[in-house]
Amino acid sequence: MITLSVIKADTGGFVGHSAVHPNMMAEARREIDRATASGLLIDGQVASCGDDISLIMTHTYGADAGLIHSFAWDTFQATTHIAKGLGLYGAGQDLLSDAFSGNLRGMGPGYAELEFEERPSEPVLCFLADKTEPGAWNLPLYKMFADPFNTAGLVIDGKMHAGFGFEVYDLYEEKRIVFDCPADLYDMLMYIGAPARYVIHGVRSKTLGETAATTSTQRLSLIAGKYVGKDDPVMIVRCQSGLPAVGEALEPFAFPYTVAGCMRGSHHAPFLPVPVRQAHPSRFDGPPRVVALGFQIHDGKLIGPRDMFDDPAFDGARAQASEIMDYLRRHGPFEPHRLPLSELEYTTMPALAQRLANRWTPMTTEIATPVG
């Protein structure tokens, strides 16, 4: 069995929140090379989207392996050291603990991991996002694995026709449920249409009995109890041979749907599919970006990546996203550009509400006119 782990963290932005400094990327690559040479990893690569470093690794230790998570933690500590030396913004901001303790759960870095038996041909897409939250994957996963208007294979591929099971997390109550689709499709949509709370964690083929996709589901604000940055999620999708074709898995991103994030993590903005060279949000810390790195995995080796959004077929989505961004920005601090108050719990809102609490009075009470 092969395990594919994608572990990411923001350990310092260059400049502001827009990118990762080349020295930090070089340090992460050195660590990956050492781990591969020592036999800890079969293979590994380093990628970035915005100000997040992603470690893309294959190994045989399974998901939540202490050795792999400890290695990632140490690597992020090393890149944090470089960020501090360069005076970069938010150095180490995703590292919410002083010491590693078994695995990365609750420690800040996000991760998606898939353990599988390698097929003769194993095409995999690794999606990396910046300036948004884990629920950003809900809409594309629904379209990939449950919408025949997006994925023709759901109708014409015998291995896909039976549908897929969707594991959904309730991030507030820390509960989970599995929806059997297409039978439970309408029930599932009621929940995943609220992506701030309900997040698709994984998708499993009913015919093949294999996991087809998995996402990172960590919300930094819920871990830290305050706003420390958006979650910048990652996602792994296996493709072909009874699973969505590569083109079907990419198709949802031809529509720049709206996600939460952008400036201070407090605004709605279009999700912009970009090639790696353009994955550096700047305008109003956005629009939120997504890159897609394609690999063929063979004997555990990562053959690639191919920059899947480096394709003029997505130019229309990019142009439309710019128009949407213009429209939303004109709303300024008003909804629907700004998130609803229920999503501003970890901003200035609680302190503001406390400070003004005594000034709120029943509407039947007369308010004295201010003098002067």
Q: Give the residue ranges of the annotated binding site.
A: 10, 17, 51-52, 89, 93, 102-103, 130-131, 230-232, 240-241, 264, 285, 346
- The residue from 8, 10, 142, 198 that is catalytic is 10
Alpha helices in 193-308 (DSSP H): 220-224, 246-250
Residue with tokens 């898995």: 249
pLDDT digits (tens, 9 = 90+) for 164-202: 999 999 998 989 999 999 999 999 999 999 999 999 999
Q: Span 271-275, mean pLDDT?
A: 98
Rounded CA gap, 234 and 54, in Å? 9
**Spatial separation of the C-alpha atoms in residues 372 and 366, rounded to whole Å:** 18
CA pair distance 293, 284, nearest whole angstrom = 25
Please give the pLDDT value at position 226.
Answer: 52
Task: Please tell me which residue in 64, 227, 307, 310 is annotated as part of the active site.
Answer: 227
Residue numbers in the known binding site for Mg(2+) are 10, 17, 51-52, 93, 130, 230-232
Residue 257: CB atoms within 10 A of its CB come to 16
Of 94, 169, 198, 230, catalytic:
230
pLDDT value for 220: 56
Q: What is the per-residue pLDDT across 19-35, written as a single tens digit (0 to 9) for each?
A: 999 999 999 999 999 99
| Exposure b/e, 135-146, CB count within 10 A at least 16 = b | bbbbbbbbbbbb
Residue with tokens 């599995």: 178
Domains of the chain: 1-116 (3.30.70), 120-349 (no CATH)
Q: How far is CA 37 from CA 40, 44, 113, in A?
A: 8, 11, 22
Q: What residues are designated binding site for beta-D-fructose 1,6-bisphosphate?
A: 17, 89, 102-103, 131, 240-241, 264, 285, 346
Q: How far apart are CA 50 and CA 149, in angstroms?
A: 31
Asked about 227 being catalytic, the answer comes back as yes
As annotated, the binding site for dihydroxyacetone phosphate includes: 17, 131, 264, 285
Contact between 56 and 124 under an 8 Å Cβ cutoff? The reply is: no
Please return the burial class of 300, using the count of CB atoms within 10 Å of its CB with bins 0-12, 13-18 and 19+.
middle
- 339-358 residue pLDDT tens: 998 887 666 788 888 999 99
